[in-house]
A = this chain, B = another copy of it.
Amino acid sequence: MSPRTEKQFEEIRETRKLQIMQAALELFAREGYHSTSVARIARYTRISKGLLYNYFTSKEDLLDSIMALGIQKFHHILEEIQHELDTPEELMMYIHGGFEIIRREPEFYRLLFSVFFQPGVMETSQNQYRETLDHLTHDIALYFEGKGDENPFEKAMLLGNMIDGVGLHYFLAPETVDLDKLEKIIFELFK
């Protein structure tokens, strides 16, 4: 029973933090940010309110942290498929990436939308997200330009918009949306 090293403590902290964020994400997505009380999150995580404030300075800080982490994951998914974007096959990978986010992190995605429509909250995260998207749009625009498309930038935007639109409807009524099929059709539409 040697005393725990600093590093071990740090790890415990990190784990706790993630636990809380995961619980909060679930609740925020399911019940909405404003309708989820800090007490509820603490209870759901089986810790005390006090302890929660040990990890996050405020409810909004908790939200920010969740969003930041979500955007990180978002980046990871994009990086997995990051390489030249010249051939239709590579475009397909991009589209697939977008759908993967919907598939893998539905709660985060839902929260993202919900938060984007609550102005005043979370402007930092919003900007981060938008920046990421802008880069992506730019890359895709280059692809369309290479193909000789007349409006490459608008095409790229529309592709992004469409994926978001699909995500939006997917979260409102998942049972009516066949992601795999839509993914293919979108590719046919834009390739």
Contact = CB atoms under 8 A, between A and B. Distances in A.
A118 B35 contact: yes
A32 B185 contact: no
Copies in the complex: 4
B119 A30 contact: yes
A31 B161 contact: no
Interface range on chain A (Cβ under 8 Å from partner): 35 or more
Contacts of A33: 34
A158 B182 contact: yes
A163 interface: yes
Nearest to A168: B164
Nearest 8 CB-CB pairings of A with B: A165-B165, A161-B165, A114-B117, A34-B34, A32-B118, A162-B162, A164-B165, A161-B166
